[in-house]
Amino acid sequence: QKEVEQDPGPLSVPEGAIVSLNCTYSNSAFQYFMWYRQYSRKGPELLMYTYSSGNKEDGRFTAQVDKSSKYISLFIRDSQPSDSATYLCAMSAGGNNRLAFGKGNQVVVIP
Amino acid sequence: EAQVTQNPRYLITVTGKKLTVTCSQNMNHEYMSWYRQDPGLGLRQIYYSMNVEVTDKGDVPEGYKVSRKEKRNFPLILESPSPNQTSLYFCASSLPPPGFYGYTFGSGTRLTVV
């Protein structure tokens, strides 16, 4: 079983829809959870950061962590064409442990 | 502006011709790392460095070398590139500890080896 699983299948949604992305993981030591956004021909940029379980909201973006199920989610409300990008989940046990990345999910928001 | 700068952005080279991809960060980060990104495989770590003169292998180090003589610079060296090293490469840096802060990535270097 891979450490972090993220379905890489492209996701196309109409403008204004809710985008739902998720990752599962196997390492119960993970406690820092992040989502990165990567535009075409650019490097990933940190979008959301969550410690342990719970929800975090930032504008149209909500990150959820369920440590009991080893499952994290990212929701994008009122999606815009500018949200079209690849979204990568990442997580770490903290300290000097490196980040473990999912493969990324390509999202296309159609005007 | 706080950033990680990679050069070149695009590079086409021939098999066996040594090349260096430079990486520089202006955030005084101790941790730096190189990744390659391939379709269907995601980001895979090549090498990382916890501090000056301290480097270690990641998941896919074969065919690559790195050095960390100064805190700000972390060049990636391909001494004898092969076509299977055709990929998109990213340099990243972080405050310590890296597992807590997350990374700042460069804009990438697209390398083609023919």
Which residue of chain A is at minimal alpha-carbon distance from B96?
A96
Which residue of chain B is at minimal alpha-carbon distance from A94?
B99
pLDDT digits (tens, 9 = 90+) for A26-35: 999 999 999 9
Q: Closest Cα of chain A to B108: distance in Å? A: 6
Which residue of chain B is at minimal alpha-carbon distance from A47?
B102
CB contacts, 8 Å: A50 with chain B: none
Confidence of residue A38 (pLDDT cuts 50, 70, 90): very high
Which residue of chain B is at minimal alpha-carbon distance from A99?
B99
pLDDT digits (tens, 9 = 90+) for A62-93: 999 999 999 999 999 999 999 999 999 999 99
Q: Quick check: A41 and B108 CB within 8 A? A: yes
Output the pLDDT for position B99: 80
Confidence of residue A109 (pLDDT cuts 50, 70, 90): very high
Closest CB to A96: pick one of B4, B40, B50: B50
Q: Closest Cα of chain A to B3: distance in Å? A: 11
Output the pLDDT for position A97: 78
DSSP states of chain B: ---EEEE-SEEEE-TT--EEEEEEESS--SEEEEEEEETTTEEEEEEEEEETTEEEE-S--TT-EE--SSSSB--EEESS--GGG-EEEEEEEEPSSHHHH--EE---EEEEE-
Separation CA A58–CA A64 (nearest Å):
12
pLDDT digits (tens, 9 = 90+) for B70-100: 999 999 999 999 999 999 999 999 988 888 8
Q: Quick check: A43 and B96 CB within 8 A? A: no
Mean pLDDT by 10 residues, chain B (114 residues): 94 97 96 95 94 93 97 97 98 88 94 98
Output the pLDDT for position A1: 67
Q: Closest Cα of chain A to B82: distance in Å? A: 23
Residue A96 has pLDDT above 80, yes or no: no
Using DSSP's 3-state secondary structure scheme, residue A82 falls into helix
CB contacts, 8 Å: A95 with chain B: 97, 99-100
